[in-house]
Amino acid sequence: MSVEIGLKGRAEETVTDANTAQAACSGALPVYGTPFMTALMEKAAWTSIAPRLAPGESTVGTAMNITHISASPVGIRVWAESEVTLVDGKRIELKVAAYDQTGKIGEGTHQRFIVTDDRFLAKAARKLEG
């Protein structure tokens, strides 16, 4: 299988005290935290791509350009959607958006690269050797 333009993904969760701006230390208010919205967007992206990869391959996020445009309170359901917009060799670009039941709460673009798991982890582990 291969990754193709138009491939879509989705991930969802409920806003709890554990994923607020307060919990992430990214703000003082008990609303859905931007770091958690970002992670949900990434989850929608990587989980849609993963089944299309060869065994021993994964993707890693390398860029995220988003806006968080609306607050979501504790207790509300939120979800993120992704769509592949470009495949250039190992580089994949996606548009991402997040929503709660009242509408869009964030949007932007995301870039991922296909990596070989063993080689990627070995390179990261070499940082401990010095």
Q: What is the pLDDT of residues 6-43, one digit of tens each?
A: 999 999 999 999 999 999 999 999 999 999 999 999 99
Are the beta carbons of 35 and 41 closer than 8 angstroms? no
The catalytic residue among 68, 81, 107, 110 is: 68
**68 is annotated as an active-site residue:** yes
Provide the pLDDT for residue 17.
98
- Nearest-angstrom CA–CA distance, 36 and 107: 13
From the candidates 20, 38, 42, 59, give the one annotated as an active-site residue: 42
Catalytic status, residue 93: no
What pLDDT score does 55 carry? 97
- Based on the residue annotation, tell me whether 67 is a catalytic residue of this protein: no
And the tokens for 116? 């070989």
Nearest to 91 by CA among 62, 55, 120: 62
Break the chain into its structural domains and give their ranges: 8-128
Per annotation, catalytic residue among 34, 38, 107, 110: 34
d(CA 40, CA 104): 14
**Quick one: 8-128 is in which CATH superfamily?**
Hotdog Thioesterase (3.10.129.10)
pTM here is: 0.96
Residues of the chain with pLDDT under 70: 1
Residue with tokens 């509408």: 103
The answer to whether the CB of 31 falls within 8 A of the CB of 69 is no
Say if strands 91-100 and 103-116 run parallel, antiparallel, or are unpaired. antiparallel
What is the three-class DSSP state of 124?
helix
Q: In this predicted structure, what is the pLDDT of residue 44? A: 98
Q: What is the pLDDT of residue 59?
A: 98
Predicted local distance difference test score (pLDDT) of residue 130 = 74
